[in-house]
Structures are given as C-alpha cells and as structure tokens.
Amino acid sequence: MPTITLSVPEELKQDMDESREINWSEVARTAIRNKVSQLKILRSICAKSKLSEKDALELGRKINRSLHERFNG
C-alpha cells in the first residue's frame, strides 16, 4: 500500500496525541475515500450537464445571493 505524509498544525497534533486509541490513519483514509467518492459523483453530474462554465458560474452566484438574503435578511 502506498504511503502519504500529512502535515498538521502542532495544536492539532497535540489534540490527536490525547486520543491515542483513535486510528488516525484510518480516519484519514476514510475522509479521503469519502472526498474521492463525492468528486466522482460531481464529475459524473458535470459530464452530463449542458450548462456552459459561464452559465454555471452565474447560477452559482444567484444561489449564493439567494442564500445570503434568506439567512441574513
């Protein structure tokens, strides 16, 4: 199995060291696996999309504006 090296802030490492019973490598593997799965789904959706990049950006801006107005009144 390939190995990767992960850098974390010192404070986070200290917090991790307080929970030595946790298999942090497995936590990282699971998080990476989940993110890769999400990206595959996103790529699949994008491949089927008929929106241009410009259209998608404009739609994203409209959604952001709408959410901002909804939650910030």
| pLDDT 10s digits, 29-67 | 999 999 999 999 989 988 888 888 898 899 999 999 999
Residue 47: predicted pLDDT: 86
pTM flag (> 0.85)? no
For residue 3, pLDDT over 90 is answered with yes
Q: DSSP character for 21?
A: T
Structure tokens given for 27: 């936590």
Alpha helices of 1-52 — where are they, by DSSP H? Answer: 10-17, 24-48
Q: Which pLDDT score, from 0 to 100, does residue 48 have?
A: 86
User: Is residue 73 over pLDDT 80?
Assistant: no
Which pLDDT does position 45 carry in this prediction? 87
